[in-house]
Amino acid sequence: MSGHLVAGLVAGYGIAMPVGAVATYLVALTARTSWRVGACAALGVATADGLYALVATVAGAAAARVVEPVLGPLRWVSAFVLIALAVRAATAAVRQHRAPRTAARRDSGPTSPARAYTTFLGITLLNPATVVYFAALVVGGRSGTGTDHLGQAVFTLAAFAASASWQLLVAGSGALLGRALTGRRGRLVTTLASSAVITGLAVHLLVAS
């Protein structure tokens, strides 16, 4: 059983730790909203990782065969969603910066925790890197659970816990950044910079396809 636990932790941290567009957006969202919103977004990412870990253990090699034909469309959809989020964040930041201070405070209410959770769950489920990672996990047999249902549960929960702990750490860094950049100009610069990074990563995703 300890083997399933270790394998799940390794798989969870393996997919969570590389910093990509989703992590960048998570930091930016938390910085301009609140720790509560960022934490819910982080749990959305971890839920998607946990779901893919569950598919990897239950569906086995069949999941890899199903996933392979749709990797191309998933890459395009993921890039489109990320670019749309980046443009939306940048547009909102510019609009709030230009608005009177009283209007900016009124319009800049935080994204709801539920909406943050569902948004990050969706973009992570569509993230080709996540799909490819867990498909490779299945093909390589590294989930190592076979038909052991208890082992499958331990592996999945361990992968979720590892991903959640890392994503919450990322969100925490965004919360600290938000406290440091309390001025309107600082928030504008941070949002525009993160939007540019997200757009660049999305374009790279398409070019590398």
The helix-helix angle for 184-207 and 21-32 (nearest 10°) equals 170
Kindly indicate the confidence band of residue 206, based on its pLDDT and cuts at 50, 70 and 90. confident
Kindly indicate the confidence band of residue 199, based on its pLDDT and cuts at 50, 70 and 90. confident
Kindly indicate the confidence band of residue 179, based on its pLDDT and cuts at 50, 70 and 90. low
pLDDT over 70 for what percent of the chain?
Answer: 67
Q: What is the count of structural domains for the chain?
A: 1
Q: What is the rounded CA–CA span in Å between residue 32 and residue 26?
A: 10
Q: What is the rounded CA–CA span in Å between residue 158 and residue 156?
A: 5
Domain that holds residue 33: 2-207
Looking at the predicted structure, is the pLDDT value of residue 108 above 50?
A: no
Looking at the predicted structure, is the pLDDT value of residue 174 above 80?
A: yes
Question: What is the pLDDT, as a whole number, of residue 25?
Answer: 84
Q: What is the rounded CA–CA span in Å between residue 22 and residue 174?
A: 13
Q: What is the mean pLDDT of residues 12-23?
A: 74
